[in-house]
Homo-oligomer: A and B are copies of this chain.
Amino acid sequence: MRIAIDVMGGDEAPHATIVGAARAALDNPALELLLFGPFQRLHAELSRLPRPMAAATSRLVLCDAPDVIGQGATAAWALRHGKQTSMARMLQSLADGQAQAGVSAGNTAALVALSRQALGTVAGISRPAISTAIPARGDRRCYLLDLGANVDSPATRLVDFALMGAVMARHVDAVAMPRIALLNVGAEATKGSASVRQADTLLRAYPAEGAFTYQGYAEGGDLFSGKLDVVVCDGFVGNAVLKASEGLAGMLVERVQAAFDAHWSGRLASLLARPVLKRLKRELDPVRYNGASLLGLDGIVVKSHGGTGADGFHYAIKRAVQEVEQNLPGQLATQLMAHSATLN
């Protein structure tokens, strides 16, 4: 299997991305990774890899891309001037069939726009969405989408998101019958914006036999209940909810730590609380650790967190491998065709 990597995206690139890629290659002997970035930077980073990782370099293929997309670049700029960037070339390699999936920790807006340009969307899907699984009660996970690929979404697009989320939960997490809900300000039918209410009507009428069960409206807190597998909202709301959750989880873990440090001697507190808190922190920062998927594309692209370290980038590559194994875009296309067959 071949995965294409934009090594220049993210705050700690290219060091963290290349170390993460080398770890992924070591971890999975069937993996070949195409690394896109300026040749000299690639060579310099690779030569500095610690010895055990150097064993993986035979499966790291260097692919020159002279330019880099900055964090401040707009999607429009990327589409017009980004052709020579590591991100665009990485995506082009997917479009050309040289790799089965791509991973980047770079500028999200640019990644969405360039992915859509290079790969197109699955027939029937108008726009890609970004999704990640957030941890929920009872060791379950809940896919939240959209996380910011679109700033607002008409009802039909929210329905697309529901389908994409269902395919994700079913094929990546093996949830036989994903439970889907629409995020709203209350559970009552009279509440919410017009697009959410219209999407509710569409989803109630959707012939989802065997594909998912639509549970109606959810409120923000239901995300973590463990009773839903997919929660759908527009990208503005999803982005705000996800980032607030990340911020809150970070603050909470710090507070628990501080509270233990204050109540118990430093040494005892470390002994008691730190291992527990470290694991929690990891679990509660899903994007940083696991990456997010661009769904609806006719291809597989995983967005690793901009602040990711080598570990997080390694996970994002694993996620891409999983999506390739499950043929996620193919499953989505099949689902959509089954649906249009029902309608005709």
Binding site for B on A (CB under 8 A): 72, 74, 108-109, 135-137, 148, 151-152, 183, 185-186, 188, 190-193, 219-225, 233, 235-237, 239-252, 254-256, 259-260, 263-264, 272-273, 275-277, 279-280, 283-284
A219 to B306, CA, bound (A): 14
Residues A275 and B263 in contact in the complex (CB < 8 Å), given A151-B193, A244-B244? yes
A236 touches B137 (CB 8 A): no
Q: Within the complex, which residue of B74, B108, B185, B254 is in contact with A236, where a contact is CB–CB below 8 Å?
A: B185
A135 to B248, CA, bound (A): 9
A185 touches B222 (CB 8 A): no
A245 touches B260 (CB 8 A): no
**Majority secondary structure, A binding face:** helix
Residues A241 and B239 in contact in the complex (CB < 8 Å), given A193-B151, A272-B264? no
A254 touches B137 (CB 8 A): yes
A284 to B248, CA, bound (A): 9
A220 touches B249 (CB 8 A): no
- List, in ascending order, chain B residues with CB within 8 A of A190's CB: 74
- List, in ascending order, chain B residues with CB within 8 A of A243's CB: 219-221
Q: Can you give 9 A-B contacts (C-beta < 8 A)? A: A219-B240, A220-B240, A223-B244, A224-B244, A224-B247, A224-B250, A236-B237, A259-B276, A259-B280
Q: From A147, which residue of chain B is reached at the shortest CB distance?
A: B185
